[in-house]
Amino acid sequence: MILNTELEYKGNLFPSRIISYKKDLDTLYFTSVNNVVLQVTIQRDSVLRFRYTTASIFEKDFSYSITKYASKGFNHLEIKEDDEYYIITTSKLICKISKVDMRKSIFDAKDTSLIYEDELGFHWEESYEVGGDIVKMSVKSQESECYYGLGDKPVENNLKGKRFQNWVTDSFAYDRDTDPIYKAIPFYIGLHHQKSYGIFFDNTFRSHFDFCHERRNITSFWAEGGEMNYYFIYGPEMSDVVSNYTDLTGRPQHIPPLWALGFHQCKWSYYPESKVKEIANKFRELKIPCDAIYLDIDYMDGFRCFTWNKDHFPNPKKMVKELSDDGFKTIAIIDPGIKIDHEYAVFKEGLEKNYFCKRADGPYMKGKVWPGECYFPDFTNPEVREWWSNLFKELVEEIGVKGVWNDMNEPAVMDVPGKSFPDDVRHNYEGIHCSHRKAHNVYGMQMARATYQGLKKFSYPKRPFVITRAAYSGTQRYTSSWTGDNIASWDHLAIANLQTQRMCMSGFSFIGSDIGGFTEQPNGELFARWIQLGVFHPFCRVHSSGDHGDQEPWVFGTSITNIVRKFIEIRYQLLPYLYTAFWRYAGEGIPILKSLVLFDQEDSHTHYRNDEFIFGEKILICPIIEQNAKGRRMYFPQGRWYNFWDRTVVVGGEEKWVDADIDSMPIFVKEGAIIPKYPVQQFVGEKTIDQLELDVYFKKGNESSEVYEDAHDGYDYKKGRYSLRNFKQVGKKNSLTIQQFKSGKYKTSYDTFKIIIHGLPFKIDRVEVDNEEIDISKLNGDVTFIVSKEFTELHIIGKK
Ligand code: GLC
């Protein structure tokens, strides 16, 4: 007789009393009576890693998201114990671990204020069906604590009161509050008492976050497998939290080529070749700047990746070359599903080399996507990634495609309940073989990584450009991204604003939305408002599903076309400013868009703001997200702000009405800013920049601004061939001084600056550049003059 022994459900389990403690350089191990081990690694003075095992032995320590370049090392480490606690002190933090139950609390080392405190702390449930544990952590929410981050969640900035899960999901026409959608970024920021910290829960299984939703004062996070493994990242400045998070999970490996920051036009799909050219020509004819045009799935032969439909595109190389001669870079889509077709080379090779994912008992993972039934490469296998990267040789090196768009890489599977692989699918996972439960969230990331490797190889000596839909923490190292299949609605315009801010705050700044909406059709007003917002997003692309009519800048009538042109021209003028913000992001992880809370966390008015954000360091944007609006109320952060359009000054710290008819949008510049501008170009490189315009916004007091430039492509900048200019503005009642500090070996194409001074509060007596007096002129009330780009000090002296 076979007996069916039921396993006992034990409920939540907890670590018991700590009985031993061991130190190994920067890592401490605490073991409890019931064999739970807590490993604490002092990553940096402000970054602690907590890792728990309930099996007394840890799994192999491996993470797709933590980069090998992550900083390590601390200035100070002291470990003490008393009757109740082990106390770890660094120069920034004090962490107390209770001997009775392993619960932790963390304090600011300077003023000993409490930052973070376990409630139940680590606990777990045994998982009968699949083995291992459901690992859980609960934390006390501090007084007035707010929460931010978590990737692409389509909700208000502050996450308090909400619950989310992280499971990368194809979410066609998602809506406000749909959860989860395309990305899994298990990183959040807590803010209370003006201090902020971050939690990065580096666990790729399906994970959940509850921000005081289930219980009013408790925040918790848990995952359906794997280890409780998380990093505590202290600020107290929020921008430091984000920057330290990207120090761990990586920053873009290079600055994008400047053209990638231009305007991109996309549709599902432009074909045949004559259509692509017609669209491109129309941009040039109407003088609407555009740098990139996209080929969606219909360029392929029966949706087979790395093939061309020769009826529609008889000579792709010639077409790509002609487009390129006219300044257009061609971007082609590549999905993960490989059509089951024994005549198709990519399929045959993948099959022969055993590169496709398999089900638990051996059959291939078969799923339907655009090409019909497909197999899917296992991108968690380094050998598969290498193979995949080499598949781009022809497309990039031979045909001349400049960028690749990875889509459907959640991985999306059609006509199945979970819209993806079943849990039992096996993955290589860098040799630590596992099921899809663990690999799902990183599948798209590893595909984008392999694509990036290919593009990098075959675009050399130029920089690669990749865009992905699915992502896990760390994907920002390889690629840009967009927010997936949104809808042409006013609410989605607001959602796009939230998602892009949130992605930037979550370490992933190269982000934008499908401008105008992917499904359904916007009217001219909505399209214009979306363009106005979209030109201030790091990635700027119009895309639509195409089955609801056209969505090019000229289809809504001349007045809308003119507005669209005007705003795209502003983006092109601001390219050196955006490029500088990108350089800062790639170097230091500073988000390109800053939600107001990130800009000024000490001002509690910012904690619940959603619409306004800072573009780069100095430009305040507030999109119009309502129909028929002639303006709106918006919050101005502390300080003084110049209206971009008429240079009038607004004093911040309160909400104010701003006029913004359909051809305008609230744009303000921080006083003291020096904003670099290029002339309008139809595409990057159309013109040789023979003068850099510097818009100076007078401030009484000091302010610094930077301009970073290099060859705008290639890697010479990594060898010091860049030009960094730091401008220090000192404004006084009767004078203005601008000092320039230069570094880098790159020689810019221009020799002079055209300086335009806004808001000068005094009448000019004379202007001296490096102690020599120069001529000035007046333009629309602003003072304008030309100076050598080599100046070190410029002095404007007022009349007595
Ligand atoms: C997915 C993508 C969309 C693309 C379409 C066809 O829906 O999100 O951007 O146009 O597939 O490839």
pLDDT (tens digit, 9 = 90+) per residue, 313-340?
A: 999 999 999 999 999 999 999 999 999 9
- Which of these is catalytic: 45, 240, 485, 693? 485
The Å distance, Cα 484 to ligand 1 centre, comes to: 8
What share of residues in the chain are helix, strand, coil (percent, to 5)?
A: 20, 35, 45
Which ligand 1 atom lies nearest to the CA of residue 543?
9
Which residue is closest in CA terms to ligand 1's atom 7? Answer: 485
List, chain by chain if needed, residues with CB within 6 Å of any ligand 1 atom: 268, 296-297, 333, 407, 469, 484-485, 543
Report pLDDT digits (tens) over 525-584: 999 999 999 999 999 999 999 888 899 999 999 999 999 999 999 999 999 999 999 999
Q: Verify whether residue 410 is a known catalytic residue.
A: yes
CA 348 – CA 344 distance, rounded (Å): 6
Percent of the chain with pLDDT over 70: 98
Confidence of residue 776 (pLDDT cuts 50, 70, 90): confident
Given a cut of 80, whether residue 6 has pLDDT beyond it is: no
Q: What is the mean pLDDT of residues 744-748?
A: 98
Report pLDDT digits (tens) over 391-443: 999 999 999 999 999 999 999 999 999 999 999 999 999 999 999 999 999 99
Task: Say which residue the tokens 């406000």 belong to.
Answer: 176
CA 400 – CA 534 distance, rounded (Å): 27
Are the CB atoms for 405 and 332 separated by under 8 Å? yes
* C-alpha gyration radius of the chain: 27
Query: Which amino acid, one-letter code, is at 472?
Result: Y
Assigned token pair, 189: 């920021």
The Å distance, Cα 31 to ligand 1 centre, comes to: 50
Given a cut of 80, whether residue 481 has pLDDT beyond it is: yes
Which ligand 1 atom lies nearest to the CA of residue 296?
12
Confidence of residue 129 (pLDDT cuts 50, 70, 90): confident
Assigned token pair, 153: 């969640």
Side by side, the strands of the sheet bearing 292-295 are 511-512, 480-482, 466-468, 403-406, 329-334, 292-295, 264-265, 541-542, 514-515
Closest by alpha carbon to 182, among 430, 368, 359, 420? Answer: 420
CA 121 – CA 178 distance, rounded (Å): 29
Half-sphere exposure (CA, 13 Å, Cβ side) for 97? 26
Are the CB atoms for 256 and 264 separated by under 8 Å? no
**pTM exceeds 0.85:** yes
Given a cut of 80, whether residue 101 has pLDDT beyond it is: yes
CA 416 – CA 424 distance, rounded (Å): 15
Are the CB atoms for 370 and 333 separated by under 8 Å? no
Query: Which amino acid, one-letter code, is at 425?
Result: V
Report pLDDT digits (tens) over 784-798: 999 999 999 999 999
Confidence of residue 778 (pLDDT cuts 50, 70, 90): low
Pocket test for ligand 1, best of 170, 265, 268 (most atoms within 8 A of CB): 268
Given a cut of 80, whether residue 204 has pLDDT beyond it is: yes
Confidence of residue 691 (pLDDT cuts 50, 70, 90): very high
Are the CB atoms for 273 and 313 separated by under 8 Å? yes
Assigned token pair, 733: 């009642």
Q: What is the mean pLDDT of residues 46-50?
A: 98
Using CA atoms, how far residue 149 sits from 50, 188, 451, in Å, is 20, 5, 27
CA 386 – CA 557 distance, rounded (Å): 48
Given a cut of 90, whether residue 756 has pLDDT beyond it is: yes
Q: Which residues pair with 135 in a beta bridge?
A: 124, 223
Assigned token pair, 688: 């040789």
The Å distance, Cα 359 to ligand 1 centre, comes to: 26
Confidence of residue 162 (pLDDT cuts 50, 70, 90): very high
DSSP string spanning 152-207?
Answer: S--S-S--TT-EEEE-----TT--TT--S-SEE--EEEEEETTEEEEEEE---S-E
Confidence of residue 128 (pLDDT cuts 50, 70, 90): confident
Given a cut of 90, whether residue 10 has pLDDT beyond it is: no
Which residue is closest in CA terms to ligand 1's atom 10? Answer: 268
Using CA atoms, how far residue 390 sits from 315, 340, 353, 459, 475, in Å, is 22, 20, 14, 12, 20
Closest by alpha carbon to 197, among 120, 137, 122, 142? Answer: 142
Which ligand 1 atom lies nearest to the CA of residue 268?
10
Q: Verify whether residue 407 is a known catalytic residue.
A: yes
H-run or E-run covering 412: none
Confidence of residue 4 (pLDDT cuts 50, 70, 90): low
Which ligand 1 atom lies nearest to the CA of residue 408?
1
Q: Which residues pair with 707 in a beta bridge?
A: 725
At 100 the pLDDT is 98
What mean pLDDT is reported for the chain?
97
At 777 the pLDDT is 75
Q: What is the mean pLDDT of residues 669-684?
A: 98
At 800 the pLDDT is 83
What does the DSSP 8-state code read for residue 415? T
The Å distance, Cα 482 to ligand 1 centre, comes to: 11
Are the CB atoms for 504 and 279 separated by under 8 Å? no
Q: What is the mean pLDDT of residues 75-84?
A: 97
Going along 545-607, which residue ranges are E strands?
593-595
The Å distance, Cα 523 to ligand 1 centre, comes to: 21
The Å distance, Cα 615 to ligand 1 centre, comes to: 28
CA 328 – CA 631 distance, rounded (Å): 35
- Which of these is catalytic: 133, 227, 247, 407? 407
Q: Verify whether residue 793 is a known catalytic residue.
A: no
Per-residue H/E/C for 295-335: ECHHHCECCECCCCCCCCCCCHHHHHHHHHHCCCEEEEEEC
Given a cut of 70, whether residue 7 has pLDDT beyond it is: no
H-run or E-run covering 411: none
Pocket test for ligand 1, best of 269, 407, 487 (most atoms within 8 A of CB): 407
- From the number of C-beta atoms within 10 Å of its C-beta (0-12, 13-18, 19+), residue 635 rates as buried
Pocket test for ligand 1, best of 485, 513, 519 (most atoms within 8 A of CB): 485
The Å distance, Cα 485 to ligand 1 centre, comes to: 7
The Å distance, Cα 732 to ligand 1 centre, comes to: 55
CA angle 386, 389, 395 (to 5 degrees): 155
Q: Which residues pair with 118 in a beta bridge?
A: 139
Confidence of residue 9 (pLDDT cuts 50, 70, 90): confident
Report pLDDT digits (tens) over 581-590: 999 999 999 9
Which ligand 1 atom lies nearest to the CA of residue 469?
8
Which residue is closest in CA terms to ligand 1's atom 3? Answer: 485
Query: Which amino acid, one-letter code, is at 590?
Result: I
Q: What is the mean pLDDT of residues 91-118?
A: 98
Given a cut of 60, whether residue 620 has pLDDT beyond it is: yes
Given a cut of 90, whether residue 783 has pLDDT beyond it is: no
Report pLDDT digits (tens) over 334-385: 999 999 999 999 999 999 999 999 999 999 999 999 999 999 999 999 999 9
Which ligand 1 atom lies nearest to the CA of residue 546?
10
Which residue is closest in CA terms to ligand 1's atom 5? Answer: 268
At 318 the pLDDT is 98
Which ligand 1 atom lies nearest to the CA of residue 514?
9
How many residues are present in the chain? Answer: 800
At 385 the pLDDT is 98
Confidence of residue 3 (pLDDT cuts 50, 70, 90): low
- From the number of C-beta atoms within 10 Å of its C-beta (0-12, 13-18, 19+), residue 643 rates as middle
Q: Which residues pair with 209 in a beta bridge?
A: 164, 221
Which residue is closest in CA terms to ligand 1's atom 4? Answer: 268
200 phi, psi to nearest 5 deg: -110, 110
Report pLDDT digits (tens) over 249-308: 999 999 999 999 999 999 999 999 999 999 999 999 999 999 999 999 999 999 999 999
Which ranges of 326-474 would DSSP assign to H, the alpha helix?
A: 345-352, 382-390, 436-459
Pocket test for ligand 1, best of 296, 303, 541, 542 (most atoms within 8 A of CB): 296
Closest by alpha carbon to 46, among 201, 251, 242, 250? Answer: 242
Which ligand 1 atom lies nearest to the CA of residue 266?
10
The Å distance, Cα 176 to ligand 1 centre, comes to: 20
Q: What is the mean pLDDT of residues 650-664?
A: 98
CA angle 264, 268, 271 (to 5 degrees): 90
The Å distance, Cα 541 to ligand 1 centre, comes to: 13
Using CA atoms, how far residue 502 sits from 53, 205, 216, 358, 596, in Å, is 32, 22, 23, 35, 11
- Which of these is catalytic: 108, 273, 378, 410? 410
What is the per-residue burial (b if ≥16 Cβ within 10 Å, else e) of 171-206?
Answer: bebbeeeebbbbbbbbbbbbbbeebbbbbbbbbbbb
